[in-house]
Amino acid sequence: MDSIRVESRALDSLPPAQRAKLPAGCSFLLSSGRFEGAVNIRELLRNRIVLRNVSADSLRLNLVRVSDSVANWDIVPPSKSEGIPYFSFNSIKLTHPREINFRDLDRKLDV
């Protein structure tokens, strides 16, 4: 993939008064220049996510946590099944990493 940009809608359902207090750009989650990797299709059919040789160039992360139950990285709707799905990868390579921001509005952290 030549590039990827992910915008989150996880904070859209907050009440307007609470949304007004959010920092600018909080819906931006991540972006990367060239992004590569392989997905094991056989495992995916078994509801298991298995990735191989993941690489990302110029990765930027913007993580915003509002509370224990609300964060901009909650981009997948909750599943009706119990537990966390199986996920693994054999390697990840970051080239030219860029900024990684973490804001926790509940605990007043900005790193």
Which of the two residues, 85 and 94, has the higher pLDDT score? 94
Of the pLDDT bands very low, low, confident and very high (cuts 50, 70, 90), residue 85 is confident
pLDDT value at residue 81: 66
Query: Tokens at residue 47, please?
Result: 């509801």
- Tens digit of each residue's pLDDT (9 = 90 or more) over 18-77: 999 899 999 999 999 999 999 999 999 998 999 999 999 999 999 999 999 999 999 877
DSSP assignment letter at 9: -
Instruction: Please give the model's pTM, rounded to 2 decimal places.
Output: 0.79
Mean pLDDT of 97-101: 93
